[in-house]
Structure 1
Amino acid sequence: MAIILNLETATTNCSVSISKGKEILCLKENNAVNYSHSEQLHVFIKEALQEASLSFSDLDAIAVSKGPGSYTGLRIGVSAAKGLSFSLDIPLISIPTLQSMALQVKLNAGELAIPVLDARRMEVYSAVYDAHGDEVRETRAEVVDGTTFSEYTHFEKVHLVGSGAEKCKEALQHSNFQFHTKVVPSAREMTVLAYAKFQAKEFEDVAYFEPYYLKDFVLQTKKKA
């Protein structure tokens, strides 16, 4: 079975896992208030390989969370993944950040998962998935108000998952909404998705692959007096 190194750096959680097929061999992660990916990512990769009694030559592919999320976090993760994929001459796999987040909630039939990541002001990045893990609605950036996700209130339960759920909790009053505000993207949930893509040979072009930012990066500068 394929041995895959999974990297998740889209948010404050610096997360690394190694999987064999669908089985997780090792997980290293730290959800710090301040981003620490530049200091921790390569340390976690080395430690994960040691704990799994593996070396880089044992890896069959590199999987990376492609976004949306933090511009800086995504750049660090994707740069590391591309560098390893190129140097080891093994495939690069990209996993939508919101799709792996949706797997952190176990759904029954008739329920939905809406992973939501905090963006600027009252905006969130979101997508919608059903109980089978299939995408019901594509990823979008949207401003949260009282009508957001109202088209899904006929479902038995709608689980809003992630840092953006706090904004949604303030604005959405329907009883069918359940809020999971503490969930962060993790390399733990990437494993099943990465293995499925490996089997289907859905690989990225290492030379041209870029993170999915969803919105253009805006450099904040101080105004002149």
Structure 2
Amino acid sequence: MNILAIESSTETVSVALLTGDALVEWEGTAEQVRRQGNLLGVADELCRGLEEGVKSLDCIAFGRGPGAFTGLRTACSLSLGLAEALALPVVTVCSLRAVALQVEAVRICVLLDARMSQLYWTLFERDSTGLRQIAPVLCSAPGDIVLPGAGWVLAGSGCVVAGDLVRSKNPGACDATLADCLPRAATLAKEAERECREGRGLDRAQVELSYVRDNVALTIRERLAQKASS
């Protein structure tokens, strides 16, 4: 099975091609993507080794968010465009799940930087059946995050900006912090392979992005209120 995956929900952008047991991945920055205009050239380059190039693909996968609005729309438009042209199924993966899948732990709290002094976050637990999400994806101030019980591993870019605050608000709950874990296209590709083999690929009309937070910038009144309360 040949799967192309695109992840651009954060400032680190990646595109991966999974062909059987072989996996290749390109990684860059959101700024590079803005300068280049789009990721189609990267996708085409990765697929050149396939017998018929992009026509050899069996599935397209992308990170559905939450994350940077522009990045999410970039990955979505490219994925749906390719899926439309090639009549392929689409698999979308929550960006926080893409982080948790990389962490070898039983209890995982994923924190992604949502800017405006907030974090995207949710909780996962791993058991004999695999990784399952046990809480909704939320966008909260770091001080509002409450971890039930102990044994949690914090993972994701949110650990850089507010990991210490989350730990201090939840004394004794956190065992470790993995700040360098980011959503990766390689992880999406592997997850998409499993989804496709289980018949859970989506039709293009079924695809939805996960924004979580509708407002992307503070109004002047909100900024003044925030400044007055600090």
Q: Same fold (TM over 0.5)?
A: yes
Q: In 1, Cα distance between the equivalents of 2:102 and 2:140? A: 22
Aligned length: 213
User: Kindly tell me: are residues 180 and 213 of structure 1, through their superposed partners in 2, closer, same or farther at Cα, counting changes over 3 Å?
Assistant: same
Provide Cα deviations, 1:143-174, integer angstroms capped at 9, x if missing partner. Answer: 211x6233132x3xx11111111212234233
1:168-183 correspondence runs (5 A)? 168-173=163-168, 174-175=171-172, 176-183=174-181
Among 72, 81, 84, the residue aligned to 2:82: 84
Counterpart in the other structure of 2:123: 128
SS in structure 2 opposite 1:190? helix
Kindly indicate whether residue 145 of structure 2 is the aligned counterpart of residue 151 of structure 1.
no
Among 166, 180, 205, the residue aligned to 1:207: 205
Q: In 2, Cα distance between the equivalents of 1:196 and 1:37? A: 31
1:24 Cα deviation (Å)?
A: 4.0
Kindly indicate whether residue 3 of structure 2 is the aligned counterpart of residue 4 of structure 1.
yes
1:95-114 correspondence runs (5 A)? 95-107=93-105, 111-114=106-109
For structure 1, the residue ranges without an aligned partner over 5 or more in a row are: none
Counterpart in the other structure of 1:45: 43
Q: In 2, Cα distance between the equivalents of 1:54 and 1:18? A: 14
1:222 Cα deviation (Å)?
A: 8.1
Q: In 2, Cα distance between the equivalents of 1:134 and 1:63? A: 20
Among 185, 189, 192, the residue aligned to 2:190: 192
Counterpart in the other structure of 1:14: 13
Contact 1:148 1:172 in 2 (8 A): no
Whichever structure has more helix as a proportion of its residues is: 2
Letter of the structure 1 residue corresponding to residue 205 of structure 2: A
TM-score in terms of structure 1 length = 0.84
Contact 1:162 1:180 in 2 (8 A): yes
Q: In 2, Cα distance between the equivalents of 1:68 and 1:150? A: 20
For structure 2, the residue ranges without an aligned partner over 5 or more in a row are: 222-230
